[in-house]
Amino acid sequence: MSTNQNAELISAQTVAKHNSRESCWIIVSGKVYDVTDFMDDHPGGSKIILKYAGMDATAEYDRIHPPDALSTHLAPEKFLGLVDPKTVVKVETQMSEEDKARAQRKSSLPPLSEILNLHDFEAIARLVMHERTWAYYSSAADDEISTRENHAAYHRVWFRPRVLRDVSTVDWSTTILGQPSSMPVYISATALGKLAHPDGELNLTRAAGNHGVIQMVPTMASFTFDEIVDAAKPGQAQFLQLYVNRDRNITKKLVQHAEKRGVKGLFVTVDTPQLGRRERDMRMRFANQEPTEAPQNTPQDRERVQKAANVVNSFIDPALNWNDIPWLQSITKMPIVLKGVQSWADAFEAYDRGLAGVVLSNHGGRQLEFARSGLEMLVEVTQHFKQKRGITFPNDKFQLFVDGGVRRATDVIKAVALGATAVGLGRPFLYASAYGQPGVERAMQILHDEFEMNMRLLGARTIKDLVPELVDASSIHAHMVAVPDDRLYNANYESMQHARLREM
Ligand code: PPY
């Protein structure tokens, strides 16, 4: 969207008249936009837009979005012109009591030296992040059973360690899609990193650069793709997570630009033709819908609910299918990995089409409820490859990754022993970024320390020693198993809220 410098300036008073659902204009960075039609498509809900209807929304917009989000998602004609700066009256915003209490908690964060594991970051994040942020990041589909299962699955795999091996030095470094990585861990893509911290994804990029870890840059980041790539050190490897847009030209441009900027791998998300039902997040959005006294069953209301459920369809194409793969392969030389494969049949298909690998994942439990954990899929997929194709893992030609529920180096070690090249962690690094870049670095250091100790205790000198015989995964498919109560972790989960009467 180009700025028409010759357009007449619009007075703030004119903008202020368009302050309703029927006609809603907002100002962002001095530009006036008509967002009347867009507000029901807004992934953050319409109420937040209506709160700024007829007003300057720049501060709130910048808190969450990259500068190019509006120009990417709004039709050019929705940019109406520039606001006349002489007419803008500055409004002081009042901090709510809850905001003040949160700021107080934020100023009492325990020092990083007292953070001993990744669960600690999660517990702290819950206390200091805005409740809407916490709801968005932590929520998962339906009854949040898959998301809990992701973590619980690791409790069903136990070790069979070896002794009397010289483990005076141990080395857990590896390569991922040919790129060196200091550990078999990468930062998985998560949307809207600025919600956690003003430096959002850049904290992850910089910490990754300092620790030799690879970051998967999300399509839905809070910073632009270039801002995130610019924050990397020279030679620092990054991957790109891709949501394929309905408009294939947008996707082609992004992919080819990423390749030019040196991105080393393309992770195409294939498990999100529609957004899963994240009810804790939805309740927050309802809290953010404008109250309506109108009957809830009018055609307009039904259309609005329908649109909100499918909001993701406006920029993630639900028609994406296997026939698009040759096209993706034709537009880039980057290795292509499918993120969100959940069956051995689809893993075979990816292998047969010459792709570089698959991420066995249920999207952090945020998509299909009762999708199995990546770890359980890994056991099944490797078994099928061995039995039907005679192929074993890890395998440089076709790499298997898992993500979801990983909080400890022992979790990672189990997945690697079972054939994964590396394991993705998404939420834990976001929670750590409540402390900014030092928090993310501390999270990485904690993982390194855990790797060192556990490699020694397992008798594994290098990644090559992490073989299937080192673990007992015979219970992985048993979905009911007694484990000691994981109280710290359970404390970070929340029981579902049920509908309540509105306050009188
Ligand atoms: C997720 O929230 O799980 C995502 O993958 C990001 C996202 C956010 C908003 C719309 C579509 C996808």
Mean pLDDT per 10-residue run, the chain (504 residues)? 61 93 92 90 79 89 86 86 87 82 92 95 94 93 94 96 98 98 98 94 98 97 97 98 94 97 98 93 70 54 56 79 98 98 98 98 97 98 98 97 98 98 98 97 98 98 98 93 65 73 66
pLDDT at 77: 92
- pTM of the shown model: 0.91
Name residues contacting ligand 1 (CB within 6 A): 43, 191, 220, 272, 275, 312, 363, 366
Query: What's the CA gap between 253 and 275, in Å, rounded?
Result: 24
Query: What pLDDT does 90 receive?
Result: 74
- Ligand 1 pocket: which of 272, 316, 362 to mutate (most atoms <8 Å of CB)? 272
ipTM metric: 0.95
Residue 440 contacts residue 204 (beta carbons within 8 Å): yes
Residue ID of nearest Cα to ligand 1 atom 3: 366
Instruction: Spot the catalytic one: 42, 151, 211, 363.
Output: 363
Residue with the smallest CA separation from ligand 1 atom 1 is 191
Gap from CA of 325 to ligand 1 centroid (Å): 22
Pocket test for ligand 1, best of 138, 275, 320, 362 (most atoms within 8 A of CB): 275
What does the pLDDT read at residue 295?
46
Q: Tens digit of pLDDT for each residue in 405-462?
A: 999 999 999 999 999 999 999 999 999 999 999 999 999 999 999 999 999 999 999 9
Residues 6+ apart with CB under 8 A from 165: 459, 461, 465
Concerning whether 363 is annotated as a catalytic residue, the answer is yes
243 is catalytic: yes
Asked if 23 and 63 touch (Cβ cutoff 8 Å), the reply is: no
Instruction: Report pLDDT for 293.
Output: 45
User: 301-320: per-residue pLDDT in tens?
Assistant: 555 555 555 556 667 899 99
Residue whose CA lies nearest to ligand 1 atom number 10: 312
Closest to 159 (Cα-Cα) out of 439, 413, 489? 413
Give the active site residue among 243, 351, 431, 435.
Answer: 243
Tell me what pLDDT residue 3 has.
Answer: 47
Going by the DSSP 8-state scheme, the letter that residue 502 receives in this structure is P
Q: Which residue's CA is minimally distant from atom 6 of ligand 1? A: 191
Catalytic residue among 41, 56, 271, 411: 271
Identify the pLDDT of residue 287: 64
**What's the pLDDT at 1?**
45
Handedness of CA 296, 297, 301, 306 (dihedral sign): positive
